[in-house]
Amino acid sequence: MKYIVYILVLLASINSNAQSSEKIELLNSDKLVNGPKNSDYWICSGNVSFKHNNTIMKCDSSHHYMKRNKMIAFGNIRIKKGDSLSMRGEKLIYEGNNNIAYLSGGVYLQDKHTKLSTQEITFNLKEDIAYYITKGEIKDGELTLTSEKGTYNTKYHLFYFKKNVEVISTNYIVETDTLNYNSKSKTTFFLGPSYIYSNNNTIYCENGWYNTITNLSQFRENAYITNGENLVKGDSLFYNRNLGYGKAINNISLIDTINNIIVNGDLSEYFENEDKIEVTKNALLSVIFDEDTLFMTANKFVSYSSEKDYLLAYDNVKIFKKDFQGKCDSLYYSISDSVVNLYRTPILWVDDMQITSDSINILMKNQKIEKMLFYPNPLIASEADSLFYNQIMGKYMTAFFSENKLRKIDVNGNGQSLFLIEDDNKDNIGLNKAICSNISINMKESKLSDITYKVVPTSTTKPIQDIIESDKFLEQFIWRMDEKPLSKEDIME
């Protein structure tokens, strides 16, 4: 008679639950008995299964609190919602009134896209959101994500990871404190200070995303990429791994820590297959020396990194350094060899001297200028007074430096000089023109000290009163001191 009562109660419970989705529906139990005296639950054991809305739950045994619409299940817990979501664990507390499942003990959750394992999960079956506060691990294809706590929205396939988050892939590792992941679109969202490590570089950002299907990514907020020797910073960094193409936008800095070179600008493009980086829009290059910095602007800088590192600058190149300035149409800088070549109407101003040539080569050693080569048609000029200019020209010219200061200039081949002659009272008395194949000029404290003619020159002096306008200038002389930049700001205008 006792068991008949149990069965009638069970049938009544099933019938009542069938009429209302609010109640937990007990589907099967090999054995059903009343709980201890004064308890308000039934003890179900053996192939227990129950249902709530479209979720089926199975276990070895359970306590069924009919009045409270609650189940506590033990052993071999299996939960299946719809045709895609399943969970396993060892203990389950299920609150039917609020659709909350508390699952613990080797918890395993799986849907069409991901597999989550942890020790405890709180699952809102109505909202399709799972929470865990013990270390969890997500498996998604070749991707493994771990965190101390997290949230998973199974409806929209969104994970929210918090605290000691790590992402491990075959190509990279991510370490961060806050990260979102869409397991359907395979997109990772970085929401705090994040480091992405790969074999080739390290990426840092505080906001951004990466899609593992398209291999497209964007990094923002203090973002940079570095390989240990070079660093790229910008407001926004974009990268297409499939095309090997990257782009940086606004407040860009390319930093070569080995050679003390920084390139700034507002647009940079990276072409991985060509080992090439282009920087445009307000582009500024800085070469840091021991006691000074060389600044250079151009419409575009192009950097190549292959067997040799070198940089191209064009068009409208301008240079400013405290002890010399320059302009040219285009420039080649061999970073590996420390050689700078200026092309197409280049001009340099060294202290009070103006130097022009068809091309100019600057050779550096240990971050210091060693010498400059001018050829062909070099010409040096300096202002003697308001009416006259001292001038020297030749076929080839070499300027020697010590501690970045000009010390000596050698003119080789077809040397000519034109100097204003003064008497002891500093009054102008004439112009001396000398022709000599080789000329040497010594400098002292950045001023002309003396001139040596290597062979006896052909020399003539014209009295000041006999000088006509054409006598004042050597061939190709053009005074361009008004173009000389006086500051870093001048070349950035």
pLDDT of residue 14 exceeding 70, the answer is no
Residue 36: pLDDT band with limits 50, 70, 90 = confident
Per-residue pLDDT band for 18 (boundaries 50, 70, 90) equals: very low
Instruction: Indicate whether 101 pLDDT > 60.
Output: yes
Summarize pLDDT for 19-30 with one digit per residue, the tens.
335 899 999 999
Percent of the chain having pLDDT more than 70? 95
The per-residue pLDDT for range 250-299, each reduced to its tens digit, is 999 999 888 888 999 999 998 888 888 999 999 999 988 877 899 999 99
Report pLDDT for 469.
92
Residue 471: per-residue pLDDT: 92
Torsion angle (degrees, nearest 10) of CA 372, 374, 378, 380: 0
End-to-end, the C-alpha distance of the chain in Å comes to 101
What does each C-alpha distance from 318 to 277, 340, 446 come to in angstroms? 20, 13, 22
Res 178 pLDDT > 60: yes
According to DSSP, the residues that pair with 383 across neighbouring strands are: 389
Evaluate if residue 232 carries a pLDDT over 70: yes
Alpha-carbon torsion (12, 18, 24, 30), positive or negative: positive
User: Region 116-139: what's the mean pLDDT?
Assistant: 92
Q: How confident is the model at residue 405 (pLDDT cuts 50, 70, 90)?
A: confident
Q: What is the mean pLDDT of residues 12-23?
A: 49
Q: Give residue 302's pLDDT.
A: 93
Q: Give start and end residues of each alpha helix (H) in 174-315.
A: none
Name every residue whose Cβ is closer than 8 Å to that of residue 282 and which is 6 or more positions away in sequence.
Answer: 264, 265, 266, 492
> Is residue 229 predicted with pLDDT exceeding 90?
no
Q: What is the mean pLDDT of the chain?
A: 88
pLDDT at residue number 366: 79
pLDDT-derived band at 15 (thresholds 50, 70, 90) equals very low
- 39-91 per-position pLDDT tens digit: 888 999 999 999 998 899 999 999 999 889 999 999 999 999 988 889 999 99
The more confident residue out of 201 and 168 is 168
pLDDT-derived band at 219, boundaries 50, 70, 90:
very high
SS3 at position 409: strand
Lowest mean pLDDT among 207-211, 276-280, 454-458: 454-458
Contacts for 166 with CB less than 8 Å, ≥ 6 apart: 145, 146, 147, 173, 174, 175
Residue-level pLDDT at 446: 62
Q: Model confidence at 395, in pLDDT bands (50, 70, 90)?
A: very high
In degrees, rounded to 5, the angle at the alpha carbon of residue 221 between the alpha carbons of residues 218 and 226 is: 70
Structure tokens at 152: 């998973």
Tokens of 349: 């101003």
Mean pLDDT of 165-170: 91
One of 1.10.1660, 2.60.450, 2.60.40, 1.10.4190 is the CATH number of 346-486, namely: 2.60.450
**314-332 pLDDT, tens per residue?**
889 999 998 889 999 999 9
Q: What is the mean pLDDT of residues 168-179?
A: 91
